[in-house]
Chains A and B, each alone.
Chain A
Amino acid sequence: MLTVANYSYLMGKLAKAALWISGTGLVVMTIAIAWQVFGRFVLNDTPAWTEPLSLVLMLYFILLTAAVGIREHFHLGMDFFQNIASESTQQLMARISNLMVGFFGLTMLWWGGQLTAQTWSVKIPVLGLPEGISYLPLPLSGTLIFLFSIEQIINPAARKNLAPVSTTAE
């Protein structure tokens, strides 16, 4: 049965999977660019696939992890007015904000999905993969953003900070 607690449990798994996929993406990206430098200086043959591949990987890990940010509250916003509002207004503002973010997730899913479908038959030069591959993270991330926003709205326990505040953003 799908209870609120079960839903949160599921979201936790989903967030962890998204994070680990992203982390692996970053490591692979590091290796790819290292290989590019190695190829140029040692093998005298710069591989052409490393840059486009790394870029596609980056798009995936940015957008997947950005969705996780909804769950971990690491996105920066102006919470000044929330902080000075009364407890009930604060809750109301936060829930409206969750709704808006969730709605934006849906629009990412809808229009990002259209972009993906429209560009699927075009090939990325060198890689030979469909161009849609680089748009696919939009609907994927949109789905996650929507799901995580729902969790924020239905489960009060999920509203506290889960992750350490980002340390290197600025």
Chain B
Amino acid sequence: MALAVLFISFILLMFLGMPIAFVMGLSSLITIIYLGLPPLVIFQRMSSSMNVFALMAIPFFIYAGELMLRGAIAERLIRLAAALVGHTRGGLGLVNVMSSTLFGGISGSAVADASAVGGLMIPQMTKRGYDVDYAVNVTVMSAIIALLIPPSHNMIIYSISAGGSISIADLFTAGILPGILLALALMITAYIVALRRGYPAEKFPGFAALGRIFIVSVPGLLLVAVIIGGVRSGVFTATESSMIATIYALLVTLLVYRSLSWKDFVHATLGAVRTTALVLLVIGTAGAFGWLMALLQVPAVTIEFMRHFSNNSLVIFLMINVLLLFLGTFMDMAPLIIISTPIFLPVVKAYGMDPVHFGIIMILNQGIGLITPPVGSVLFVGCAIGKISIMQSMRTIWPFFLVSLIVLAIITYVPEVSLFLPRVLGK
């Protein structure tokens, strides 16, 4: 009964359009009052879910991303991608995917990726004769790559939701190959669609120009190495590496590119504070909500239910993927990770799946959820930039969508794609 109170109040408040962080807080509060337990517990849980040292990496990675965004680093990466793949047919589509991959290594955020790359690429593509729906679709789908290429603050959220026992360094390295796989799959799709629509090719700038462009983008690209190297080697904690990433981003934009004004700095700082508040408030109230679900034994009941359904691990993994995709259509990533990890992780573990592997599946799965309406923040950003309706984009997005689902299936059923790199690089 208490569970019904929790879910019904949750769904009603969510449908009302109330911000999700407050929906989770208020429905937890209603349920705890219904249970006759002291409401103080909810606020204590909320505070303790945010009062975690490892979470401090999130504001730092977001801050580093904001600084890079204001400091015009995205432009340089796009120029590099253009020099590398722009000369194929439909080249700008490929440039778009590659830019997202490179920029994803800096921001770790799909919405940031879509707005940075999309903001520059969509107008350019339409000017060069590409249809705007194609430009938007390529932008939003390839933005998911940013979630897989480290750093990815969602992986930190996953690690913490799993009880902090999963190494963030392993998760970061595990995301690299799946990220590249997704990038390749999307580039091939973008190429095929471009061929069928007869889009033009750009001119190859020549190797000398390519070299020059590469050298200019090195400081930005190095950031990825700094982050992975720092976390992987164990010299720094994830939080310390993220702080170093912030200071590095500040130094590069300030001293090397000289593209960061005081105004940019203030914008970047306040922007980082806003985004952190948004993400971490959700973590706080989702922490209280998740605690209540555990108290009401939702994880145990779910395992029982799934066992009842099938004993085949392949079927279980498929069911979990479908369920997560469904939940992802109307919930955002961070709360979904916090709520669903404690429920599904014990299930997949019981079927022999590595927690790092499951983390990568979860990130890609819920990344796809960011493209699906009714709640799809990345899709909304892309459509807003391209000034087209969600429907216009949805009508032609299916080849990209299908390919992402195929990549999700490959990543789910071929654990090596995720686990090879962490094992090879492992201590």
A interface residues, Cβ below 8 angstroms from B: 19-20, 22-23, 25-27, 29-30, 33-34, 36-37, 51, 54-55, 58-59, 61-66, 68-69, 72, 74-82, 93-94, 96-97, 100-101, 103-104, 107-108, 111-112, 114-115, 134-135, 138, 163, 165-170
Contact = CB atoms under 8 A, between A and B. Distances in A.
B320 interface: no
A169 B111 contact: yes
A104 B29 contact: yes
B269 A163 contact: no
Nearest to A37: B240
A23 B243 contact: no
Given A78-B330, A167-B271, A169-B111, A138 B60 contact: no
A66 B277 contact: yes
A94 B381 CA distance: 22
A52 to B, nearest CB: 9
A26 B275 contact: no
B112 A80 contact: no
Nearest to B17: A82
B277 to A, nearest CB: 4
Contact of B110 (A66, A76, A170): A170
B122 to A, nearest CB: 15
B270 A23 contact: yes
30 contacts: A22-B273, A23-B270, A27-B269, A30-B246, A33-B239, A34-B247, A63-B277, A63-B281, A65-B274, A65-B277, A66-B21, A66-B280, A68-B274, A69-B274, A76-B20, A76-B278, A80-B375, A93-B16, A101-B18, A101-B22, A115-B40, A115-B43, A115-B47, A135-B43, A166-B278, A168-B109, A169-B279, A169-B377, A170-B109, A170-B378
A167 B273 contact: no
Interface residues of B, number: 77
Contacts of A93: 16-17
A51 to B, nearest CB: 6
Interface string B29-59: 1000000000110111011001111011001
A69 B334 CA distance: 17
Contacts of B240: 33, 36-37
B314 interface: no
Interface stretch (B63-71, B186-194, B409-417): B63-71
A100 B370 CA distance: 26
Contacts of B271: 166-168
A75 B281 CA distance: 9
The 4 A-B pairs with the shortest beta carbon distances in the complex, nearest first, are: A75-B19, A80-B374, A65-B277, A66-B281
Interface string B271-315: 111111111111010000000000000000000000000000000
B55 A37 contact: no
B69 to A, nearest CB: 7
A134 to B, nearest CB: 6
Nearest to B270: A23
